[in-house]
Structure 1
Amino acid sequence: MNVSTELDTVPTSVVAAVTTAGDALRERFDPAARPTDLDTLVRAIHANDEAIAPILMEPLLAARPGSRWAEDELAGGALPPGEWWVVDTAEGNINHIHGMREWAVTAALVSDNVPVLTAIYVPLTGDIYTAVRGGGARLNGEPLQVSAKTELTAALVGTGQAKPGEEPAALRRMGESVTAMLTSALVVRVSVPATMQLIHVAAGRMDAFWQFSDVRSGLLPGALLVAEAGGAVTDTEGRPWSLASADFLAAAPGLHTQVVDVLN
């Protein structure tokens, strides 16, 4: 079955699932939260995941009979054949438990390692971002379009960690890329999570985002959104991005080659 041609829009059941989950996560949000030690922090992260996952799992699996659930949110690399839901129950969980506002609930459907639809819900704004492969990207039902910039010196770009405890070599590479971009672009943002920057790239508010990581849940929803909004989605050397890629770049098409040059 060709999922990308079968689906014209993101099913209402998928939007309803991420919206219901996001509203539940909002109920758990405390802007005054200030975890004081690592144990408390880790417990809060796990508590959010355990509370939200059951809200999402049943309706998403029911929306695509025969689909499967990718269990590890921090995993990377290709998936086995078939349809898989790649979900982040609290994208930006670290922000949520520290009383910060940059977090969302995301769901992406992958068919034979190709992302075919995504839904992203930002509960504190009420915004719903959706995309279907070949069908465009939308914010609250209105089409999205990436930036038309062609000068990197005028660009707002960003990167960030994919997860805590990354390899020192990856962190050094990230730091070096930030330094290189600071001398090339107008402004560089370094923040988490990836999705909250990628929705800005898709909407044309930011011009590029890169990450030296293959964490699926942080990249898949935004990758499809940017691609369907007209952006270039590759690895940092400019090759087509896939779940097997070691790193990631999403950029406005008029800036893509310049960003690749700086990162290399």
Structure 2
Amino acid sequence: MTAATPGTPGDPAPDLDELLELALEAARRAGALLKDGRPADLAVAATKSSPIDVVTEMDIAAEKLITGLLAERRPADGILGEEGADTPGTSGVRWVVDPLDGTVNYLYGLPSWGVSIAAEYRGETVVGVVAAPMRGETYHAVRGGGAWTGGARLSCRSAAPLDQALVATGFAYVQTRRAHQAEVARQIVPQVRDIRRGGSAALDLCDVAAGRLDAYYERGLNPWDLAAGDLIAREAGALTGGRPGQRASGELVVAGSPAVFASLQPLLDAAGAWHD
């Protein structure tokens, strides 16, 4: 992964509202392409880590649309995209793009998929947008400005004991990792209300922000899977992290309302959710 090239100390900070508007436009355009342009005979263009984890033609087309728009409007910015975009930039701003989070859901015609676009400035996420076209919803946040969908401010759920918490998770497409993740879930299920597996990390994080889930955890996410959703969840009042005392990362992502997060994180650490 190539880090964003920082701007010089004298460079002005970016206008976050401008970055937000651009992210919203890019997500809207990509969402429309994916929703309206999905062919009935959707083909597999390539594979990712295993034959199950597919890359579709539409996935690649959506990333080209997004990165093309970003490069046109802000040519000095860096871009990191799931489908191969990786340019360093010189402005201190880097876009982190997942053009289609929930690819398998999309391939099968399930509605839980989205477009995730985040903007980082000097390594910190400052803008996040997740568009969910089949829900008719777009979630967004600017650092320090709260999390929103449409004109409604998002807020995570109020405090609840862990045994009343609805918790989402995800599973890798590599079989050896899946087996251990299933064992972790087996240990967690008796201690919570129930477990959900939605298939889109970005939407799971937004559902924590919207109060539709009490918590979410997963191992093996990439920066583009979590950048926008992590900011949206935090701006809605949720806590996010990895292992105790660490930030969310590919090792482990945990997000939840503060009380549930405080109870769930040590359980996941003890269960070994952070390793294969």
One fold, TM greater than 0.5? yes
C-alpha displacement of 1:60: 2.4
Give the Cα separation in 2 of the matches to 1:219 and 1:240: 15
Secondary structure, aligned partner of 2:108 = coil
Aligned match of 2:257 in 249, 252, 256?
252
Secondary structure, aligned partner of 1:179 = helix
> In the alignment, what sits opposite 1:175?
182
Q: Which blocks of at least 5 consecutive residues in structure 1 are unaligned?
A: none
TM-score w.r.t. the length of structure 2 is 0.80
> In the alignment, what sits opposite 2:107?
97
> In the alignment, what sits opposite 1:17?
26
Give the Cα separation in 2 of the matches to 1:172 and 1:42: 15
Could you list the runs of 4 or more consecutive aligned residues of structure 1 that deviate by over 6 angstroms after TM superposition? 32-36, 41-44
Secondary structure, aligned partner of 1:149 = coil
C-alpha displacement of 1:64: 4.1
Aligned match of 1:154 in 155, 164, 180?
164
Give the Cα separation in 1 of the matches to 2:89 and 2:247: 17
Identical aligned residues as a percent: 26
What is the correspondence of 1:1-264 to structure 2 with a 5 Å cutoff?
3=13, 6-8=15-17, 11-29=20-38, 45-73=55-83, 82-162=92-172, 164-165=173-174, 168=176, 170-235=177-242, 237-243=243-249, 246-263=251-268, 264=270
Partner amino acid, structure 2, of 1:92: G
Give the Cα separation in 2 of the matches to 1:2 and 1:246: 34
Q: Residues 198 and 242 of structure 1: is their aligned pair in 2 closer, same or farther, counting only changes over 3 Å?
A: closer
Q: Which blocks of at least 5 consecutive residues in structure 2 are unaligned?
A: 1-10, 271-276
Secondary structure, aligned partner of 2:196 = strand
2:98, 2:224 within 8 Å by CA — same for their partners in 1? Answer: yes
Higher RCO (CA-CA < 8 Å; seq separation 6+): 1
Instruction: Count matched residues.
Output: 252
Partner amino acid, structure 2, of 1:86: V
Give the Cα separation in 1 of the matches to 2:241 and 2:170: 17
Question: Over aligned residue pairs, what C-alpha RMSD do you find?
Answer: 3.0
Secondary structure, aligned partner of 1:11 = helix
- CA deviation profile, 1:127-186 (whole Å, cap 9, x unmatched): 110011111110113110011123011110011025x226x2x33432222112111000
Secondary structure, aligned partner of 2:178 = helix
